[in-house]
Structure 1
């Protein structure tokens, strides 16, 4: 879930990264909806964007072990839990993987994420960039109901599982026959990024704004490699 425009965000990440690195040097002697809003009334449209097919979820997989961050991050390394949790939630694994790619724009290190969150309390957590309210709204009655939002930076499998069920919940809100020239996966991705209210507006045919269009364009760019990753 994008939080703000990327340009200024990367500058702040760099500053926070320097501060955290300095802190580690001192302490250790060396040494991570209510989504961001996109205005549905802005002038940009999704016209001309390549259509994304609405795929079926893959078959179930054995239970994935907890996955802790280890420095390098490539969404494709998490293909197994993506397939597992997409099947568990009944969503398209290619869509879930593409969202992980969309949300990989910032460093997903637990210490950096927490440093950023101290500076911006409404920041998102985990490799799927989920906000606290979205996580808390999604978890009741789910296999991770006893887990806490604060755990997302440290458990990437939990972040993927929560994102899968959030997409499931968004899917349940879509009309059977949207008026928009967007398919189900595109609308769900916009819902993940911009919130359910904007998703429903887009489904009624309201033009999407530039921020939502940028998210959709990145989804299209990431679509093919996401499909390859979850085969």
Structure 2
């Protein structure tokens, strides 16, 4: 007589071990503000060794689409391959950061865990900083180049640092970064200066 198969439960997916208790982005997109994640930004920036103002300004730049997990799932259905999380990270970028820093989470966890998304973004900005030459053209600050690298990739960032002009989309990202920086700093304790860290000093050419 054939034995009956006993249903087994699906393996439980463990959340990243570094998950913090932060609020889920609101379902109504216009209620979302990166300022709600100031503590996570400061913590992640300190760990990564980058400016919290840089991280927060990137979050402001990436606030152009809804970040509630349900809405991100719908966005992914409408646009396969879209980025995930409050910092809008694509899968290929996440996998590079995950391998470089031994992260335990998955790309999909960026969608459900804002603290993990912010930490991953800060680590990515640190990696970009390490790949950016110390000397660069004077029309950009180092943080502006890192933001451009976040948006367009490390190779383009280094090209901009040499003086190659960015394209229309990168220029738009840079304009928004400059416009958002003051508001981002205002949302951080002491304007982010109390938690700033020493990075490579800007050297203009």
TM-score by length of 1: 0.69
After superposition, residues 184-199 of structure 1 pair within 5 angstroms as: 184-199=142-157
Structure 2: gaps spanning 5 or more residues: 1-18, 190-205
- Does the 8 A contact of 1:170 with 1:188 survive in 2? yes
1:200-211 equivalence runs, <5 A: 200-211=158-169
Q: How many pairs align?
A: 168
Inter-CA distance 87–211: structure 2 relative to 1 (3 Å threshold): same
Give the Cα separation in 2 of the matches to 1:140 and 1:66: 25
Measured against aligned partners, the alpha-carbon deviations of 1:61-117 in whole angstroms (never above 9, x if no partner) come to: xx9435433433210011000000000000010010001001101111211211221
Instruction: Name the SS for the 2:183 alignment partner.
Output: helix
CA contact (8 A) 2:94 2:120 kept: yes
Q: Is 1:105 paired with 2:61? A: no
The correspondence for 2:109, drawn from 138, 147, 151, is: 151
Verify: 1:86 aligned to 2:42, yes or no: no
CA contact (8 A) 1:110 1:153 kept: yes
Unaligned runs of 5+ in 1: 1-62
Match of 2:3 in 1: none
* Equivalent of 1:226 in 173, 178, 184: 184
Matches within 5 A, 1:1-231: 64-71=20-27, 72-140=31-99, 142=101, 145-179=103-137, 181-231=139-189
User: Which ranges of 4 or more aligned residues in structure 1 deviate by more than 6 Å?
Assistant: none
Aligned-partner SS, 1:193: helix
Q: Distance in 1 between matches of 2:88 and 2:132?
A: 22
Structural RMSD (CA): 1.6
For the Cα contact (< 8 Å) 2:22–2:37, is it kept in 1? no
SS at 2:53's partner residue? helix
- Between the aligned partners of 2:35 and 2:83, the Cα distance in structure 1 is 21
| Aligned partners of 2:24 and 2:68 also within 8 Å | no
